[in-house]
A and B are shown apart, each in its own frame.
Chain A
Amino acid sequence: MQPYIEQLVNAALLGTDKILPEYSFADASLGQRLSETGADREDTFLRQAAAAFLYEEVGQPTQQLAVPEQTYQGDTGNQASGKLGQLLETAIRTDDLILLHYLASLSRPQNLVVAPHLVPDLLDIAAKQGPKKAFFAALSGPVGQWMCQFEPAWSNLMTGDPEEDFETASIAARVTHLENLRQRDPNAARLLLEKTIAAETAEKRAVLLNIMAKHLQPDDEAFLETQLKDKSIKVRQIAHGLLIKIPGSRLSGLYKSYWQKAVKMSNSLDLIREEMPDNALFEAGMEKVSSQKSIPDYIYYLAQTIAALSPDDLAQHLQIKPAALLRQFDKIIYHGFFQQYVTQSALNFRHIEWAKMLLKKSNGNIDLIDVLPKAEQFEFYQKLNKSHFVTIINRLYQQETYELFPEEFAQFLLTSLRNAPYSTDTKGYYRLGFNMPESILTTIDTYGRKMEEAKNPSDRFFINNLGEMAKAIEFRRQLSHFNHSQI
């Protein structure tokens, strides 16, 4: 028989003129009283329904549930406290990813984690961060790992030991694990990748193979050689790019041998058209036919060879200094075409001298700045300012380090932003603030005092956003007792 309330619901659906269920109360006299005193069918029905619902509400029982232990028994980790703890809470509650990234970078070297009550919101943020998922999720510590079991959206955020189920873990977890392993034990990382790479999609093979760029060593050559036969062009290119950087590799030797045959030095560089590269080079990825209009094939081979050899190797064969060789390139007819390959060589082999010389040219590739030591980079940023300011700002915005800018550079940045305030947005000003020295606050205050005189919107935009910059400087000041050099 249906429960009484269901009978009442059915009667209500069909109408009481069609059906009126018999009352059924634990206290039978109640039902009888309601029936007898009802003014009509509907009155009786509605009063019975009200009584039935009330009976149900006041009589709701608890349930005896036997569930396995669900308490967290582990260590909650070393919790960030004081200002750091407060700011972490602010960053999480306000979804302030810029501040959170900064704080996570500060917390990481000391294995500090957020308070347990913040873990769910932190994991929600982390789940939306693509490749940075694991970085943010790590801040939730062991409690975060435990909480992941309760929410499917977090299941891939933190895997305990991806090595055990490397093939089934998320790509983000695998990348993190492989990066860490490469750092700790380069050979073990290579062996793991060797074992599993064939089962991956082309895109993931490329991502995973790229991790080998760190701690590249001669032992990696054999594995990377096998990747030159991969079906994906992208994977082959990555393998090729890595192999040329291994000193004494077969591929590097092939390029060297071709360079030695095809280039001679007399008064100027002599490029020998008749010399052909070894077939093995074409098989390894050298392009056989020039894709550039009006560039003969042999120049194209030489250009690729320049990019594949270090400036020192290139110069050594000709028994001149790298700087002299670079000047020689400027004298040959194809110097414009060679420029990008020469730049590539400086980038591939992080050649500081060439990087500086190339940056001094008007069309120097700004990526070359990365080759320079940090302290020297700012000088070049200032030199490149006029033509590349937006690019500079973007590069500074995207950087993940929090080293302070030198005072002079910070002043230069403020002046440049004053002249071109829309070169970045509010977030940009805020992010840059985390690299600004505290001393710059005086200049910011000076600009702030000019707010009342600021007539046009761009001035207002600039001054308002300096407030964001000052906010970041203030956050950093509050945490000045942390060792920023570790991040």
Chain B
Amino acid sequence: MQFSEEQIKQLAPDDASASAGRQLANPAKWVVKCHHETALWGDCQGSGKVPYSTIVDLTQLAFKCTCPSRKFPCKHGLGLLFLFARSPEVFNHATDLAPHVEEWMGKRNARQAAKSESEAKPVDEKARQKRTDQRTQKVNDGVAELTNWLKDLVRTGIMPVPQNAYGFTQKIMARMHDAQAPGLAARLKNMSDIKFYQEGWQRELLQQMAYAYMLTSAYRKLPDLPPLWQEDIKTQIGYALTKEEVAQQGTSVEDDWWVAAVQHEQQDKLKVEKTWLWGKNTGQFALLLQYSAPGQPLAHSFLPGSAIHAELVYYPSVAPLRVLVKTARPMETNIWPNGPDNLNATLEALSTRLANQPFHRQIPVIVHQIRLIWHEQRWWLQDQAGQSLPLHQSNAACLRMMAASLGFPFDAMVLWDNGHYAVVSYWLNQHFFTT
């Protein structure tokens, strides 16, 4: 499989690792460098006596390295992959895996098989029902408490909030954690993260309060709602479905998927990776959310811009988006997705989606033949008819986009994010870029 440097960069946990990885993409740094159709492995001379032994599983893009780095993948794994992308000819082609590579890959496969087995074990239904009832009671109490808190806040006015910007949600947030409603706690955290020193905080705070209230109102009416809506509301509150539940209740879709973008976020100590996929036959997006603790590998790594053939299972929802991966394998061919070429049609589709499921705060769309323009000191997306939308994106990202496109139309994946638009990836002349 052929990787581009841009794609490999997206696998890095941060810019520093990508940069360090690129520096290591030099044959002089590698004492051993081997390629097998399923793996790459090499020994990199570091500062220690013994070179670091690095392995990349090409079938599932997994990494292993003997270096002490807590970053994952480490610079050596990335460096080996960068080197392979740049100069595959410097690798010795091996027909068999080296023993230590075979051992590691064998262990990985065995672990996965064992995991599937343990997942299939029966559970104690009684105990589970008891736990569910206890949690429901806690969540009910928490939702009632939050409802009152929101009402009290609007009754007395939000004017004094900036004076206690950090503390105003602390107690109620702790209560939501106690009530096992992490979704609500996260909403409160977002409220306290508002930049209260900036103009416009009043509007942002009211919006977040109103939507939180909408959620608590919906939860109170949960038994009256259709099952899919119930699942959506519970997900927003913070109920997590197990993989088996998703597999049972969700919709399975097998398709060729284009990896539209991979985004990284940090939530407290957890790394969150969002992989946006677009189905070639369905034309639908899917979002793979993966969480990992520092130094822990993710179950799946996909290269942005690449194509995979996968069976994905959508979480039950009135507007399905989140998925889990049942099976996946890389494809050699490229997929270049299609979308409407006018922004009004894009907005219409977006509005429909938002009207169907107002709790989704990020909605991806594909836009065909749009261009970037600089107007009144800001960047805009403009379609062929001159209809334009302001972009909410860093100047640096827009400058790169302008330079790559030279002002000419390109295709893009645009993310609607809480009312703002940003280009996440774009492609032109068969070249794929991420912002």
Which residues of A does B touch, CB under 8 Å?
A: 5, 8-9, 11-18, 40-43, 45-47, 49-50, 52-54, 56-67, 69-72, 76, 86, 89-90, 93-96, 116-121, 124, 143, 147, 150-151, 441, 448, 451-452, 454, 460, 464, 467, 470-471, 473-475, 478
Chain A residues within an 8 Å CB radius of B388: 62-65
Specify which of B45, B154, B347, B395 lies most central, judged by the most chain A CB atoms within 10 Å of its CB. Answer: B154
| Chain A residues, CB < 8 A from B402 | 120, 147, 150
Quick one: which of B86, B151, B371, B403 has the most chain A CB within 10 A? B403
CB–CB B49/A452 < 8 A: yes
Interchain CA distance A18-B154 in the complex, whole Å: 10
Q: Is B374 an interface residue (CB 8 A)?
A: yes
A64 contacts B403, CB within 8 Å?
Answer: no
Min CB distance B351 to A, Å, is: 4
Contact B19 A95 (CB under 8 A): yes
Whether A454 lies near B26 (C-beta < 8 A) is no
Given contacts A116-B403, A120-B400, contact A65 B210 (CB under 8 A): no
Q: Let me know if B419 and A14 touch, CB within 8 A.
A: no
Q: Is the CB of A60 within 8 A of B347?
A: yes
Whether B389 sits at the interface, judged by CB under 8 Å, is: yes
B29 contacts partner chain A, Cβ-Cβ < 8 Å: yes
Range of interface residues on B (Cβ < 8 Å): 35 or more
Q: Is the CB of B419 within 8 A of A116?
A: no
A93 touches B47 (CB 8 A): no
- Do A18 and B157 have beta carbons less than 8 Å apart? yes
Which residue of A16, A50, A93, A448 contacts B22 across the interface (Cβ within 8 Å)? A93
With A63-B387, A467-B29 as known contacts, state yes or no: A47 contacts B214, CB within 8 Å.
yes
Chain B nearest CB from A162 CB (Å) reads: 23
Q: State how many angstroms separate the Cβ of A50 from the closest Cβ of chain B.
A: 4
Chain B hits for A53, CB < 8 A: 207, 210-211
Interface residue from B150, B157, B386 paired with A64 (Cβ < 8 Å):
B386
B122-158: which residues lie under 8 A (CB-CB) from chain A? 150-152, 154-158
Does residue B206 face the partner (Cβ distance < 8 Å to A)?
A: yes
What's the nearest-Cβ distance from chain A to residue B352, in Å? 8
Residues on A with C-beta less than 8 A from B403 are 116-120, 143, 147
Complex Cα distance, B213 from A52, in Å, reads 13
A49 to B354, CA, bound (A): 16
B178-220 contacts to A, CB under 8 A, are 202-203, 205-207, 209-211, 213-214, 217
Cα distance A54–B46 in the bound complex, in angstroms: 55
* Contact indicator A42/B407 (Cβ below 8 Å): no
* Chain B residues with CB below 8 A from A143, complex form: 403, 406
Chain B minimum-CB-distance residue to A457: B47
Are A9 and B206 interface neighbours, CB within 8 A? yes
Any A CB within 8 A of the CB of B263: no
A72 engages B406 (CB within 8 Å) = yes
Contact B158 A12 (CB under 8 A): yes
Using A62-B344, A65-B375, A120-B403 as known contacts, say yes or no to A94 and B157 having CB atoms under 8 A apart. no
- B26 touches which of A11, A13, A70, A474 (Cβ 8 Å): A474
Is B277's CB within 8 Å of the partner chain A? no
| 15 contacts across the A-B interface (CB closer than 8 A) | A11-B154, A12-B202, A12-B205, A13-B202, A18-B157, A43-B217, A49-B210, A64-B387, A65-B380, A65-B382, A67-B373, A118-B403, A120-B400, A151-B399, A471-B26
Do the beta carbons of A50 and B214 come within 8 Å of each other?
yes
Closest Cβ of chain B to A415, distance in Å, is: 20
Residue B433 lies at the interface, judged by CB distance under 8 Å to chain A: yes
Chain A residues within 8 Å of B354, by CB: 54, 57-58
Identify B5's interface contact among A41, A49, A89, A478, CB under 8 A: A89
Task: Please name all residues of chain B whose beta carbon is closer than 8 Å to the beta carbon of A11 when the two chains form the complex.
Answer: 154
Provide the residues of chain A in CB contact with B23, threshold 8 Å. Answer: 94, 96, 471
Contacting pair A473 B28 (CB below 8 A): yes
- New A-B contacts (13) at CB < 8 Å, excluding given A15-B159, A58-B355, A71-B407: A15-B157, A46-B209, A46-B214, A54-B358, A60-B419, A65-B386, A67-B382, A70-B373, A71-B371, A118-B403, A120-B403, A151-B395, A451-B45
Query: A464 to B52, alpha carbons, bound, how many Å?
Result: 13
Tell me the nearest residue of chain B to A451, going by C-beta.
Answer: B49
Distance of A86 Cα from B87 Cα, bound (Å): 10
- Cβ A45 vs Cβ B19 within 8 A: no
Contact of B210 among A46, A71, A467, A474 (CB under 8 A): A46
5 nearest A-B pairs in the assembled complex, by CB-CB distance: A15-B157, A71-B407, A117-B404, A49-B210, A42-B151
Q: Is the CB of B211 within 8 A of A50?
A: yes
Query: A379 to B344, alpha carbons, bound, how many Å?
Result: 74
CB distance from B88 to the nearest CB of A (A): 12
Q: Is the CB of B25 within 8 A of A90?
A: yes
Whether B330 sits at the interface, judged by CB under 8 Å, is no
B343 to chain A, nearest CB (A): 5
Find residues 376-390 in chain B having any chain A CB closer than 8 Å to their own CB. 380, 382-383, 386-390
The DSSP consensus for interface residues of chain B is: helix
Q: How far is the CB of B27 from chain A (nearest CB, A)?
A: 6
Please, how many angstroms separate the alpha-carbon atoms of A240 and B355 in the complex? 80
Q: List residues of chain B with CB within 8 A of the CB of A49.
A: 206-207, 209-210, 213
Which of B87, B154, B213, B431 touches A15 (beta carbons < 8 Å)?
B154
| Alpha-carbon separation in the docked complex, A319 to B373 (Å) | 76
- The answer for the CA separation of A12 and B150 in the assembled complex, in Å, is 11
Which of B27, B151, B375, B389 is the one whose CB lies under 8 Å from A46? B151
Contact B406 A116 (CB under 8 A): yes
Residues 224-256 of B, flagged 1 when their CB comes within 8 A of A and 0 if not, give 000000000000000000000000000000000
CB-CB nearest in chain B for A460: B47
Q: Which residues of B contact A89 (CB under 8 A)?
A: 5
Report the Cα distance A45→B86, complex, angstroms: 60
Are B28 and A12 touching (Cβ within 8 A)?
no
Given contacts A76-B406, A473-B28, A474-B27, whether A150 and B387 have CB atoms under 8 Å apart is no
- Smallest CB–CB gap between A185 and chain B, Å? 34
B120 contacts chain A at the CB level, 8 A cutoff: no
Roughly how many angstroms separate A89 CA and B431 CA in the complex, as a whole number? 15
The docked-state distance in angstroms from the alpha carbon of A451 to that of B31 is: 12
Distance between B333 CB and nearest chain A CB, rounded to angstroms? 23
Query: Is B408 an interface position by the 8 A CB rule?
Result: yes
Q: How far does the alpha carbon of A57 sit from the alpha carbon of B23 in the complex, in Å?
A: 45
Which residue from chain B places its CB closest to the CB of A57 in the assembled complex? B419
* Cα distance, A72 to B211, chains bound together (Å): 44
Residues from chain A with Cβ under 8 Å of B419 in the complex: 56-57, 60
Q: Is the CB–CB distance between A13 and B157 below 8 Å?
A: yes
Residue pair A12, B29 in contact (C-beta under 8 Å): no
Q: Which residue of B lies closest to A18 (CB)?
A: B157
Q: How far is the CA of A12 from the CA of B201 in the complex (A)?
A: 12
* CB neighbours of A9 from chain B (8 A): 202-203, 206
- Measured in the bound complex, the distance between the Cα atoms of B358 and A63 in whole Å is 24
Q: Which residue of A lies closest to B343 (CB)?
A: A62
- A119: min CB distance to chain B, Å: 4
- Min CB–CB distance A218 → chain B (angstroms): 48
| Residue numbers in A under 8 Å from B213 (CB-CB) | 46-47, 49-50
Evaluate contact between A470 and B380: CB separation under 8 angstroms: no
- List, in ascending order, chain B residues with CB within 8 A of A60's CB: 347, 351, 419
Residues of chain B within 8 A of A94, CB atoms compared = 19, 22-23
What chain B residues lie within 8 Å of A58 (beta carbons)?
A: 350-351, 354-355
CB distance from B293 to the nearest CB of A (A): 28
* A18 vs B156: C-alpha distance when bound (angstroms): 8
Question: Knowing A49-B206, A59-B351, A143-B403 touch, does A16 contact B26 (C-beta < 8 A)?
Answer: no
In the bound assembly, the distance between CA atoms of A96 and B152 in angstroms comes to 56
Chain B, residues 260-277, CB within 8 Å of chain A (1/0): the string is: 000000000000000000
Which of A61, A62, A470 has most B Cβ within 10 Å? A62
Q: How far is the CB of B319 from the nearest CB of chain A, in Å?
A: 13
How far is the CB of B224 from the nearest CB of chain A, in Å? Answer: 14
Once A12-B157, A15-B154, A15-B155 are accepted as A-B contacts, the answer to whether A464 and B400 lie under 8 Å apart by CB is no
Give chain A nearest CB distance to B150 CB in angstroms: 6
Minimum C-beta distance from A455 to chain B (A): 10
Residues from chain B with Cβ under 8 Å of A150 in the complex: 374, 399, 402
